[in-house]
């Protein structure tokens, strides 16, 4: 009799284990879902242009690699920076300018940074990106997956040692908040809250409220709590204008 009871209990346990739903997504799965709901494959065959702080930006595809550019008037002259295959070229009034390596890196990082934030979450699956699920939390009564992002030194750019944290909405998988630490210009931390979400030709774009984080004793992983308590100082707003999408045929 005891043997029958034992096998009955064991059978119930097996069924329960098989029916138990997966309790937690991986960081990779969260990012995959986020990219999909934000534009997915449309990122890979679209030319994206927009205006940001009086400069015109454009990203397009060339031989399966992204070509990033910005253009504007500086010192009464037309200046165009083009970043392709990790090399930046600057033209001033249609004349190519020879730049030092250090200055070229500064301009390249500036161009890449703007495009990086505009195209989030696309880019979080680049080969140099490392993702780690830190857990789940709530921000303003909404549930989020908190994901840490770091970069390999090889392929991670000059700012490979920067650390990012993303808050992905558990219901929509959209990254509503992000924070990052940086080391250039003396270093620091920023926290950004997305707003003014809109989809243009199937690709998601947002603007950001940009907050400064006091470095003294502050953990980047707790910046969401400081934001909730109103303890962050807003520096600026990141506003995109004239966003246009051209789809490759």
> How far apart are the C-alpha atoms of 6 and 13, rounded to whole Å?
11
> How far apart are the C-alpha atoms of 51 and 148, rounded to whole Å?
29
Determine the average pLDDT of the residues in 43-61. 95
Residue 22's pLDDT band, with cuts at 50, 70 and 90, is: very low
Report the pLDDT value the prediction gives residue 154, as an integer from 0 to 100.
58
Of 218, 246, 248, 244, give the one whose Cα is nearest residue 232: 218
Write the pLDDT tens digit of every residue in 152-188.
865 545 555 789 999 999 999 999 999 999 877 667 8
Strands (E), the chain: 46-52, 55-62, 65-74, 77-84, 87-92, 95-97, 129-139, 142-151, 163-169, 175-182, 188-200, 203-213, 233-238, 241-247
Determine the average pLDDT of the residues in 217-242. 93
Write the pLDDT tens digit of every residue in 29-40.
999 999 999 999
Q: How many CB atoms lie within 10 A of CB 82?
A: 17
**151: Cα within 13 Å, side-chain hemisphere:** 18
Partners of 233 in the β-ladder: 212
**Which tokens sit at 242?**
């004239």
Separation in Å, CA 49 to CA 21, 108, 109, 161, 184: 43, 17, 18, 29, 27
> How far apart are the C-alpha atoms of 71 and 28, rounded to whole Å?
35
By residue count, the chain amounts to 249
Decide: 226 and 27 in contact? Cβ < 8 Å: no
Separation in Å, CA 224 to CA 86, 112, 117, 167, 177: 33, 26, 19, 9, 8
How distant is the alpha carbon of residue 61 from its chain centre?
19
Collapsed DSSP state (helix, strand, coil) of residue 12: helix
Write the pLDDT tens digit of every residue in 95-129.
999 999 999 999 999 999 999 999 999 999 998 89
Collapsed DSSP state (helix, strand, coil) of residue 184: helix
- Show me where the domains of the chain are located: 23-247
Of 127, 148, 129, 128, give the one whose Cα is nearest residue 137: 148
Has residue 19 got a pLDDT over 80?
Answer: no
> How far apart are the C-alpha atoms of 71 and 92, rounded to whole Å?
10
CATH of domain 23-247: 2.50.20
């Amino acid at each position: 009799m005891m043997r029958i009871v034992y096998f009955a209990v064991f059978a119930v346990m097996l069924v329960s284990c098989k029916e138990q739903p997966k309790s937690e997504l991986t960081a990779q799965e969260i990012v995959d879902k986020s990219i999909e709901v934000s534009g997915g494959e449309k990122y890979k065959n679209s030319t994206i242009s927009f205006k940001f702080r009086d400069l015109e930006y454009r990203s397009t595809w060339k031989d399966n690699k992204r070509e990033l550019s910005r253009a504007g008037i500086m010192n009464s002259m037309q200046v165009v920076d083009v970043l392709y295959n990790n090399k930046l070229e600057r033209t001033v009034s249609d004349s190519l300018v020879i730049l030092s390596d250090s200055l070229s890196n500064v301009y390249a990082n500036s161009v890449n940074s703007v495009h990086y934030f505009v195209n989030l979450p696309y880019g979080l699956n680049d080969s140099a990106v490392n993702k780690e699920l830190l857990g789940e939390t709530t921000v303003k009564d909404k549930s989020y997956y908190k994901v840490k992002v770091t970069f390999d030194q090889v392929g991670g750019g000059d700012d490979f040692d920067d650390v990012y944290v993303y808050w992905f909405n558990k219901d929509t998988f959209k990254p509503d908040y992000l924070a990052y630490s940086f080391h250039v210009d003396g270093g620091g931390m920023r926290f950004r809250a997305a707003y003014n979400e809109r989809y243009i030709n199937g690709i998601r774009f947002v603007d950001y409220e940009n907050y400064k984080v006091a470095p003294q004793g502050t953990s980047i992983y707790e910046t969401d709590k400081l934001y909730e308590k109103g303890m962050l100082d807003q520096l600026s707003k990141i506003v995109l204008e004239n966003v246009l999408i051209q789809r490759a045929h």
